[in-house]
Structure 1
Amino acid sequence: MSRRVLVTGGASGLGAALVAEFVARGDRVLICDLQAPAEGTGADYLRLNVTSDDDWAAALAWVNEQWGGLDVLVNNAGIASGGRIDVATIEEWQRVIDINLLGVVRGCRTFTPGFKAQGSGHIVNTASLAGLVHPPGMSSYTAVKAGVVALSETLSYELDPFGIFVTAICPGFFRTNLASSIAGSDTAVGHIAARLIEKSTYVPDQIAAQVMAGIDEQAMVVVPDEPARLAVWAKANERPTYDQEQRNFAARIKAIAEQAEHTEGTS
């Protein structure tokens, strides 16, 4: 049976891969993004800024007028962020909170009344492995992604009596254009994060296939790649080793930052 699906951040990366999966299944899809998707996606497009209440209202109006409702909401839009606590600015914190957390909140608030009225619906929120494990140098990102995981768990219980399912997606690093959105005061941490993304052997299509399997199972949390699953397992079962690895990573950040500062000071 064809579903009506809205995907934020659906023009590229994981969002585009999820759009392709839904379209391949015969679902009707609306891509909501700041940029238009490539041609030939088989989906409709509506420009949407997830920080804009007016844009969310326009998306709701479009869905109701064109489809008479929605079946699946995928809150996928987001940016990369990070930085040491004494380097990243409050303005950078406010930006990632508004996009990565409150953007998800706005989407849930916009479409939950319609889901309740029809007695069905599925909300899919893209969080991150960073919402489950919390490495150094990424406090703004881990905080908002942990918030998305917490929000999703709360809503999965809150909305269950109305026949609404909620799934949080928690992938690790995979090759995507997310690295291009890394911008901030802490360039040392930004370079490390970009390298980790670029070195990953996973691509969005692989992650999307696993996410779709989790959606089919109506799972509360989907950890779609093996390295991410190993990290979650290590935190739960090998905590001393996990803690030491995180401290080693922090020492690496310190060394890289000091080297960069030395280089800048001698140039």
Structure 2
Amino acid sequence: MSRVLVTGAASGLGAALVARFVADGHQVLSTDVGADGSAPYLKLDVRNPADWDAAVAWCQDNWGGLDLLVNNAGIATGGRIEVETLDEWDRVVDINLMGVVRGCRAFVPLFKRQRSGYIVNTASAAGLVHPPMMSSYNTVKAGVVALSETLSHELRPYGIDVSVVCPSFFRTNLADSIRGADSAMAATARQLIEKSPRSADDIASVVAAGIKKKQHLIIPDQPARIAFWTKRLARPLYDRQMRKIAARAHQRATDGR
């Protein structure tokens, strides 16, 4: 039985992962920004270093350590480069990238003392392939991918494993977190999320299997895998597809849609 902490556990992929871990017999500490949650639950704002310190203390006091940290909390964002504001950039960097950095920094000393531990960071297919009109989201998710690869090598001598999860769109309430000046981009993102044939439970099932195998790069759905391998093996085709997406977005903006 493993001791597991999941951030962003109140909904979406976080909640689905918690349910999967519990069903598999693990001890799970759910964390999120809200004050209330099902026990065991801890309020944790990934932007707040004091909350991270409290999470480490909770794991030490109640469990004597931690086996698996899942840095899953995040928000959706995006927009054309001249439309999305710098405040929006600051917000998504602080949550989606620095929230993961803070989590790793908080728990790595404990893992090193244990000479064991496992970090799983939720990124996105947007961390591997980079569609237009998603500069901020692509950038932070690519940062999570880079951080995860770096730490997978850096922490290996201490017996610490690292994985990164890169799904494409799936049904969740993530679209509710979109705030920003580019309302057209927000509407497109919401449509892609809400009309996806994949649920959070579908993604969680594949992610859990990848964690059991300690796969470094976990790409849990076919559209994300196709996009990833198209970029790597058929770059001209990938570039043409990205330019088509950009052209359609330009036409919508020109038409006022």
* TM-score (ref. length: structure 1): 0.94
1:107 to 90, 103, 106: 103
| Aligned equivalents of 1:51, 1:145: Cα separation in 2 | 16
Asked if the contact 1:46–1:59 (Cα under 8 Å) also holds between the matched residues in 2, the reply is: yes
Asked if the contact 1:171–1:207 (Cα under 8 Å) also holds between the matched residues in 2, the reply is: yes
Partner of 2:248: 252
Tell me which moved more, 234-243 or 170-179: 234-243
| Aligned equivalents of 2:46, 2:255: Cα separation in 1 | 38
1:210 counterpart = 2:206: yes
| Aligned equivalents of 2:181, 2:23: Cα separation in 1 | 41
| Aligned equivalents of 1:61, 1:38: Cα separation in 2 | 19
Structure 1 residue runs of 5 or longer lacking an equivalent are 262-267
| Aligned equivalents of 1:189, 1:171: Cα separation in 2 | 19
* TM-score (ref. length: structure 2): 0.97
Over 3 Å counting, the alpha-carbon distance change for 1:32 and 1:113 in structure 2 is: same
Counterparts of 1:46-57 in structure 2, within 5 Å, are 46-57=42-53
Partner of 2:31: 32
2:129 to 114, 128, 133: 133
| Aligned equivalents of 1:67, 1:257: Cα separation in 2 | 54
| 1:165 counterpart SS class | strand
| Aligned equivalents of 1:224, 1:165: Cα separation in 2 | 19
Q: 1:206-241, CA deviations, whole angstroms, 9 ceiling, x for partnerless residues? A: 100100111111111100001110111111122111
Q: 1:61-106, CA deviations, whole angstroms, 9 ceiling, x for partnerless residues? A: 1111111111000000000010111111111101000000000000
Asked if the contact 1:87–1:185 (Cα under 8 Å) also holds between the matched residues in 2, the reply is: yes
Cα RMSD (Å): 1.2
Counterparts of 1:1-267 in structure 2, within 5 Å, are 2-35=1-34, 39=38, 43-260=39-256
| Aligned equivalents of 1:46, 1:17: Cα separation in 2 | 17
| Aligned equivalents of 1:157, 1:218: Cα separation in 2 | 14
| Aligned equivalents of 1:63, 1:70: Cα separation in 2 | 6
Q: CA deviation at 1:14?
A: 0.2
Asked if the contact 2:36–2:43 (Cα under 8 Å) also holds between the matched residues in 1, the reply is: no
Q: CA deviation at 1:247?
A: 0.6
Percentage of pairs with the same residue:
61
Q: CA deviation at 1:204?
A: 0.5
| Aligned equivalents of 2:255, 2:63: Cα separation in 1 | 56
Aligned length, in residue pairs: 257
Over 3 Å counting, the alpha-carbon distance change for 1:87 and 1:29 in structure 2 is: same
| Aligned equivalents of 2:236, 2:24: Cα separation in 1 | 44
Q: 1:104-155, CA deviations, whole angstroms, 9 ceiling, x for partnerless residues? A: 0000000000101011100000000000000000000000000000000000
Q: 1:166-224, CA deviations, whole angstroms, 9 ceiling, x for partnerless residues? A: 00000000000001111101111111111111111000111001001111111111000
| 2:161 counterpart SS class | strand
Q: CA deviation at 1:260?
A: 2.8
| Aligned equivalents of 1:190, 1:260: Cα separation in 2 | 15
| Aligned equivalents of 2:162, 2:252: Cα separation in 1 | 40
Match of 2:122, as an amino acid?
T
Match of 1:84, as an amino acid?
R
Match of 1:158, as an amino acid?
E
| Aligned equivalents of 1:238, 1:158: Cα separation in 2 | 31
| Aligned equivalents of 1:194, 1:254: Cα separation in 2 | 18
| 1:125 counterpart SS class | strand
Asked if the contact 1:36–1:45 (Cα under 8 Å) also holds between the matched residues in 2, the reply is: no
Asked if the contact 2:79–2:186 (Cα under 8 Å) also holds between the matched residues in 1, the reply is: yes
| 1:74 counterpart SS class | strand
